[in-house]
Amino acid sequence: MVRHRGHLSIRRNLRRYLVYGILLFIATILALPATPRADQAPKKALCPVCAIRGETEEEKVKARAEHDGNAYYFCSKSCREEFEADPIAFIPPPLPRGAPAFSVETLDGEPVDLSTHYGKLIVLDFWATWCKPCVDLMPSLQGIHERYADRGLVVVGISIDEGKDRIKKIRKFVERVGVDYSIYSDARPIPAWHTFKVKAIPALFLIDRDRQIVAQWLGTIDHQSLESVIQAHLPP
């Protein structure tokens, strides 16, 4: 059978377009950012969920998730599930960033907000009477308060203790440990720890005179490192 020349031309064009399509597909795949496969996961990694609670050691990887094109590794499936429910809560936020407004209560039950301390370098400490790492940190914070108060620094402790007797408990505790920097109770309808997205304590935030969070510490805190960062942000 003799084929029409037009048919041969059409076949050649189709073949050419098919080759072009394959090449375009390959080029597109090669241009995509490389994402580690599950079988390429490291044997150990710092679990972001545990890290926000103070863990500093890498753990055996048992789960993996992706967010915004980045891979995250977890010590358990439950940690991965918690991360996937609210990824932003476990990803280190950018610094500097604006300090959110909040309201707390004095130990006399009066409302007070962050604007009370505007214009100073603020060390904001979320703590509780039952938190041993928080208690261990308080002498260092008292020393920082004593050394730098006359240079425009203020230490603000916000207790997240709960219960009807929390004020009595906080007062008694503060008297026993002997700190005299500002101590407040996080007892307002919208708690400050929620506004600052605190997942574990101790949690410290350094807020400069422009109301920017310029540093933060979660969980286990190196006291010398803390003071070094504070010194770097003190007004001249």
> What would the mean pLDDT of 122-133 be, rounded to a whole number?
96
Average confidence score pLDDT of the chain:
84
Q: Where are the domains of the chain?
A: 38-90, 97-233
What integer pLDDT is reported at residue 230 of this predicted model? 96
pLDDT digits (tens, 9 = 90+) for 79-127: 999 889 988 778 878 899 999 999 999 999 999 998 899 999 999 999 9
Pairwise pLDDT comparison (128 vs 89), residue with the higher score: 128
What integer pLDDT is reported at residue 140 of this predicted model? 95
CATH architecture of 97-233: 3-Layer(aba) Sandwich (3.40)
Residue 135 clears pLDDT 90, i.e. is over it: yes
Residue 145: band (very low, low, confident or very high) from pLDDT cuts 50, 70, 90: very high
What integer pLDDT is reported at residue 13 of this predicted model? 52
Residue 65 clears pLDDT 80, i.e. is over it: yes
What integer pLDDT is reported at residue 188 of this predicted model? 85
What integer pLDDT is reported at residue 104 of this predicted model? 96
> What would the mean pLDDT of 191-219 be, rounded to a whole number?
92
Residue 12: band (very low, low, confident or very high) from pLDDT cuts 50, 70, 90: low
What integer pLDDT is reported at residue 234 of this predicted model? 94
Residue 9: band (very low, low, confident or very high) from pLDDT cuts 50, 70, 90: low
Lowest mean pLDDT segment, chosen from 3-12, 55-64, 92-101: 3-12
3-state secondary structure the chain: CCCCHHHHHHHHHHHHHHHHHHHHHHHHHHHCCCCCCHHHCCCEECCHHHHCCCCCCCEECCEEEEECCEEEEECCHHHHHHHHHCHHHHCCCCCCEECCCCEEECCCCCEEEHHHHCCCEEEEEEECCCCHHHHHHHHHHHHHHHHHHHHCEEEEEEECCCCCCHHHHHHHHHHHHCCCCEEEECCCCCCHHHHCCCCCCCEEEEECCCCEEEEEEECCCCHHHHHHHHHHHCCC
Residue 236: band (very low, low, confident or very high) from pLDDT cuts 50, 70, 90: confident
